[in-house]
Structures are given as C-alpha cells and as structure tokens.
Structure 1
Amino acid sequence: MANSDRQIRVAVAGALGKMGREVVKTVMADPAFQLVAAIDPSSVGQDIGSLIGTEEAGVFVANSLAEALLQSSAEVLIDFTTPNVVTQNVYIALEYGVRPVVGTTGIKQEDLQAWDRILKEKQIGGVVAPNFAIGAILMMKFSAMAAKYMPHVEIIELHHDQKLDAPSGTAVKTAEMIAKERARMQQGHPAEEEKLQGARGADFEGMKIHSVRLPGYVAHQEVLFGGVGQTLVIRHDSISRESFMPGVALAAKKVTGITGLVYGLENLID
C-alpha cells in the first residue's frame, strides 16, 4: 500500500481520449497523485500537459504501455481505452505488478476471473467499474432496493454513438444487482410478439434492457418499475465526463490498499 506521506505514481492509458484527458487533468490536480506516464498512439513524444491545455507535466506521451510502465515505475494504471485494447493492457500491467483501475466496459467474464486470480497471487489490488459516477452508483443501489417491492422492471440506457458495447456495463451491473433481490420472472404478456426483431430489447433474467446510441448524449440510464396503479422511474444523467472523476480518484486511492479484483465502485463506498 502506498504510504500516506508520498504520492501514488499513476499511469494513464488512452490519455488523449475524451475520458483519458479528464483523467489526466484529475491526476495532475490531485496532490495525492503523481502522473508518471501517459500512453496513447497519437502525439507520441509530446508533453501531455501541453496537449490537454494545462501546464507542462514533464510527462511525454508514449506508445508502448510495457515500456512506459517499466520506465516510470508506476503503481496504478488508469485505463479508459476500448474493449479490444483494455484486456491486453491489463495483462501487461499485471505482468509488471501495476494495479489496474479500469472504466472500459465489455470485458469478458473469463478475463475478470483471470485478473482476480493473478492479482491475488501478486497480493495487489485492481478495480473494474462499469460506472465511476457516484450518482450512478446510487441509482443502481436504489434500483435494487425498489426491485424487492416492484419486481416488474425494464432498463433504458442512453449513450453517445461512439460507444462500442451494448448494453452498457452500467445497465448489465444494474440488472445483476436487481436479479439478486427478486426471483427470475418473465415479464409482459406470454403471447406478445415482436413485429421487428429486437423491439422488446435484450433479456436478462426476465427483465428487458434497451440501448440508445445517439450523438449528444454522454451517459444516461433510467430504470422503470411498474406496479398496480403506479410506476416508479429512477434516472441518472452524466452531462459531463467530469462526473466520473471523483469516483476514478477514489478508486485509484483505494486500490493501493486491497488485494484481488473489486468489480463495481459500490464495493468501495459506504
């Protein structure tokens, strides 16, 4: 675990992506952290601070994750890349004993299990969270509470049109949490018929999940509950990527004191 009297050495993968830029700014602004590496295939060799519009950081963009981790002696890797990149990145981080904090979704279950095993062998921690917004975590917790009393539920998640996976990791995590609080049940009329395939959305334990992808959105989700003579809607909106940063910072600090993989930010907050 990092000592309280020194900074946690942080590397950021996908540092010039939309989320990566916010992460870099957050790390640079937090006295608990020291930014020691920025990895991105573009603008290699340039100062990351200048590229994102802050003061020069003295950290130059690298293309090779393995080389950057080795040279920087990073303790934590924050990764908001894509599903086809993050898996390789985490295995590289684990090889060098670097703790991963991952916000990318669409990761295979077998990889999550493998990471947990490796982390425990190395006696270090890792965090994978479908959503780092504190409000989104509360939305998931409230939805699980409501499902005990209103088990008929559907989930609608809305994201920008550059998101690659559907449904979102937040929607799947919400459905998993709801499923723990209610018995599996098939909703809707048993004789209902889809006139267009997929019109009723994806099925998870009998509940439906609908994905919307449009420009202009960031990350949004509403959970709809139906009961006799009443409905309940629990909704969360991230109107800026800054909404994720307090949770990212929290995870990057907490990860230095855990062993094994923690899946979901709700497991790190009271």
Structure 2
Amino acid sequence: MPTTVLVAGFRGSMGQKATAMIKRDPELELAAVYSPHLETTDPAAYDLPATTQVFNQLSAMDTPAQVWVDFSTPAGAFENAQFALEHGMTPIIGTSGLSDDQVAQLTKLAKEQHQAGLLVPNFGLSAVLLMQFAKQAAQYFPDAEIIEMHHADKKDSPSGTAVNTAKMIAAGRKQAPETVENPVETIPGARGANYEDVPIHAVRLPGYVAHEQVLFGGPGEALTIRQDSFDRESFMHGLNIAIKQVNRLKGFAVGLENVL
C-alpha cells in the first residue's frame, strides 16, 4: 500500500513541487492538501486528482493521511505540526523559522504521542553534506562565518539551513574562536547576525534559489565550502527519502541526515 501524504502550503513554490513529486511516485499517494486561504475546496480548481481532499480549516480536517508535509509559513508550521502529532500524522517540516523553544515543544509532544517527526532545514543532499563538512572543519578552524543567499521572496532570515550550519560548527569546535575586542559597526548589522559565535550574513535577491558559503579562516590559510541549489527540483529527492523513511525515527529529529 502506498504511503498517504498531506501537503500543507501546497500552492507555494515548494508545495507545488512536492505535490507533483508525490503524484509521480507509485509508492506515494497525495491524500490531502491544506491551506487556510482557499476559497474553494474543490480539487479540480487546483488541478488535483478527484480523490485528493482539500482543506482550508484544521477543525474540518478528517483524512487518512499518514505523513504531513509542511511548506506553509513560519507562523503556521508550528500549529500545523502540533495538529499532525495530535491526530496520528507524522510531520515533516520544510518550513524554516521555528524557534528552539518551538522545536523543544514538538520534541516533547512527539514523545508524549509516541510519534516520529522531522524538521528539515534543507532537503538538498548537497546542503546536508555541506553541514557535515562544516562540522568536521570546525575542529581545525574554529573561526567561521556564513553567507546564505536566497530568492527575494524568502521572508525569514537567516535561513534555517544557515542556523543549523552554525549549530553544527559550534558542536564541532574544539576551541573557542578568536574574538575582536570592542568591535565598531559604523552601520549597525554590518557584521551580520551572531549565532553561537558564528556571524551569519543573509542575502535576498531575485535570480537566486538557495545557496550557502561557509568561510573558515586560520593562520595564513582559509577554507571555503559552498553549495548551490539552482532549481527547487533538487529538494525533491531528499523529500522523497524523508517521507519514506521518517517512521523509522524514534521521536522528533532535526536534519535530513537522520533518515539517510
């Protein structure tokens, strides 16, 4: 039997790619879609199979979906994930912007519900490898900065990928980075956001999709690790793996590497 999937935020760029991928895969079934801003719940209006349920209210939802894929908004993703866990669905959250406290709450709820769940900062396999390589490099180069570049429509910054990369750099360090005493920013924010002593610089420009550079500096040398996602289709391989493997998890996890 195919795995049944609900996609929240199905009309966005990532949501459209996700629904197309699910419809192509005979091992998956697009059981339902959800967006709170729909005027009609007729699947034909969205070029969806007649068997796909369409919802615009959580309170009206009654679906056989086993996995909840979320590409909605930072404001809605947390509530959606709570609903999924409380109603027997396994959430896979591709929306960035959740706080550490919200992740902790979802982790606690998943444990209480004996459910699995996954927050994925980036579904691109190249991005997963970048984060792993950055963690290894931080053992030898504790001084690092991140430049993340995304399309102009991305609302939140820094990206979830950049924040997760900073966490992994901090976890990989064996010594503290050098600090500049009494730094002066002639324009506030010039040194970027600081997360775990890793400056993060966010770029939002048309023409970009999702890109990240991690710059490491040491005495007389430097190392740069970079990944580029030129098309959102590149994220679908990782999403497909996550949907099929997520229930092997015990509890709630962060990062695609947990199901690879």
Which TM-score tier does this pair reach, normalised by the shorter chain? over 0.9
Kept in 2, the 8 Å contact 1:157–1:211? The answer is: yes
1:127 aligns with 2:101: no
Give the C-alpha shift of residue 257 in structure 1.
Answer: 2.5
What is the aligned counterpart of 2:23 among 28, 46, 49?
28
How far is the alpha carbon of 1:90 from its aligned partner?
Answer: 1.2
Bigger mean CA offset, 34-43 vs 9-18:
34-43
Alignment partner of 1:62 is 2:50: no
Alpha-carbon distance between aligned partners in 2 of 1:115 and 1:207, rounded to the nearest angstrom: 26
- Amino acid aligned to 2:41: G
Name which of 33, 37, 40 aligns with 2:32.
37
Q: Structure 1 residues 189 and 111, CA, compared in 2 at 3 Å: closer, same or farther?
A: closer
TM-score w.r.t. length of structure 1 = 0.89
Quote the offset at 1:157 in angstroms. Answer: 0.4
Percent of aligned positions with the same letter in both sequences?
41
Q: Deviations over 1:146-173 (max 9, x none)?
A: 1111222110001112222211111111
The alignment partner of 1:110 has SS state of helix
Go from structure 1 to structure 2 and tell me whether the alpha carbon gap of 1:222 and 1:85 turns closer, same or farther (over 3 Å shift): same
Contact 1:119 1:259 in 2 (8 A): no
Q: Aligned residues, how many? A: 259
Secondary structure of residue in 2 paired with 1:36? strand
Distance change in 2, residues 1:125/1:188 (3 Å): same
1:169 to 148, 160, 173: 160
| Per-residue deviation, 1:58 | 3.1
Q: Structure 1 CA distance, aligned partners of 2:23 and 2:39?
A: 19
Q: Which residue of 2 aligns with 1:85?
A: 76
- Given that 2:85 and 2:115 are in contact with CA atoms closer than 8 Å, whether structure 1 keeps it comes out as no
Indicate the residue corresponding to 2:232 in structure 1.
Answer: 241
The amino acid of 2:191's aligned partner reads R
| TM-score w.r.t. length of structure 2 | 0.93
Whole-angstrom CA distance in 1 between matches of 2:214 and 2:249: 32
Counterpart selection for 1:228 from 194, 219, 222: 219
1:7-18 mapped onto 2 (5 Å cutoff): 7-18=2-13
Query: Is 1:257 paired with 2:252?
Result: no
